[in-house]
């Protein structure tokens, strides 16, 4: 039922043709001025400018974020409801844009208070959880490219933001305390959605990312197939040095909201040192914004998985920043 996908719990910047380029994506306390010269980031306003450039550069690779005109009424439809001991499981679809309905599971705990079944675990802990399918995975079939998207990644982000819209309509949900957690594919989609949707107040990524130069020793073809961002191959030639953005910047762009990087030491997909590089690069931004305690990292033993002890750390982090 539950896959390695994003789980959501309970001011997007438009893309420009030529946003400023930042060759050193680990130095986040500089921002390009109107003349293209480096200026120090000293204030929140300075960081807001750099953050806007990060989002613009991400959209160069992912394609532009659709504007609000693409929204249609959510029109939620219930397919199946299962009454379980600790929560009610609803299999549903919602309309995410014209001609497209997104399959999802909505889990609502009755009490308000497997390794990868974290939507179930969190529902049992008292969270309302929503687990949507990713494009062309599970029951969800949608050709993003024939429908105007530049990447499946951006289509995933849009769908997840529509899930946040749906969550905020539910009486059981506190719309000011929404988080995102994911493993692997869901781990980086949690980051992407957190970057573009500031309604998400806490993000946990397990086995979800590392810097592009450290991903498979710089061989980033895995990010370029139709399920992700094809421009990484066709435009940026699979060269990390040519990429307009990196995860160093994406992690920092979540600030001042809470972020936990969970990275097992023997993950065969995402290099642990590459995760540490991203966290280290983001630390000065969190300090600048006065919230260093909201950036955390966990490097458990193990491989590309999400076992009990690792989930325990993740759930405690969510509790700290989402529960009253």
pTM for this prediction? 0.93
Tens of pLDDT, residues 194-226: 999 999 999 999 999 999 999 999 999 999 999
pLDDT tier at 15, thresholds 50, 70, 90: very low
Q: Residue ranges of the alpha helices (H) in the chain?
A: 44-62, 118-124, 152-167, 185-196, 231-234, 247-253, 272-288, 308-322
pLDDT tens track for 24-46: 999 999 999 999 999 999 999 99
Q: Is the pLDDT of residue 11 over 70?
A: no
Separation between Cα atoms, residue 39 and residue 46, nearest integer Å: 9
- Contact (Cβ atoms closer than 8 angstroms) between residue 156 and residue 135: yes
CA-based R_g, the chain, Å: 19
Residue 6: per-residue pLDDT: 65
Over residues 249-258, the pLDDT tens digits come to: 999 999 999 9
The pLDDT value recorded for residue 136 is: 97
Q: Which residues contact 48 (CB under 8 A, 6 or more apart)?
A: none
């Amino acid at each position: 039922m539950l896959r390695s996908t994003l789980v959501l719990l309970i001011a997007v910047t438009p893309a420009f043709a030529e946003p400023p380029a930042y060759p050193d994506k680990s130095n986040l306390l500089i921002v390009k001025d109107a003349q293209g010269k480096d200026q120090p980031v000293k204030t929140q306003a300075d960081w807001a400018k750099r953050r806007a450039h990060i989002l613009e550069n991400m959209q160069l690779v992912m394609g532009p974020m659709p504007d609000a005109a693409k929204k249609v009424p959510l029109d939620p439809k219930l397919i199946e409801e299962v009454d379980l001991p600790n929560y009610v499981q609803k299999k549903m679809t919602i309309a995410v844009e014209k001609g497209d309905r997104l399959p999802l599971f909505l889990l609502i705990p009755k009490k308000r208070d497997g390794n990868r079944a974290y939507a179930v675990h969190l529902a049992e802990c008292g969270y309302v959880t929503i687990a949507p399918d990713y494009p062309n995975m599970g029951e969800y079939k949608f050709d993003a490219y024939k429908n105007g998207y530049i990447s499946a990644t951006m289509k995933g982000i849009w769908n997840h933001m529509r899930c946040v819209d749906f969550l905020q309509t539910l009486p059981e949900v506190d719309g000011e305390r929404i988080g995102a957690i994911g493993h692997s594919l869901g781990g980086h989609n949690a980051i992407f959605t957190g970057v573009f949707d500031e309604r998400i107040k806490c993000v946990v990524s397990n086995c979800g990312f590392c810097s592009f130069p450290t991903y498979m020793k710089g061989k980033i073809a895995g990010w370029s197939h139709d399920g992700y961002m094809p421009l990484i191959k066709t435009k940026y030639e699979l060269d990390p040095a040519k990429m307009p953005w990196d995860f160093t910047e994406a992690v920092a762009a979540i600030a001042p909201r809470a972020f936990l990087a969970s990275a097992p030491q023997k993950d065969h997909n995402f290099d642990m040192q590459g995760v540490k590089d991203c966290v280290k690069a983001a630390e000065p931004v969190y300090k600048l914004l006065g919230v260093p305690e909201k950036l955390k990292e966990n490097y458990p033993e193990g491989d590309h998985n999400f076992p009990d002890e690792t989930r325990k750390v993740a759930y405690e982090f969510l509790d700290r920043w989402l529960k009253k």
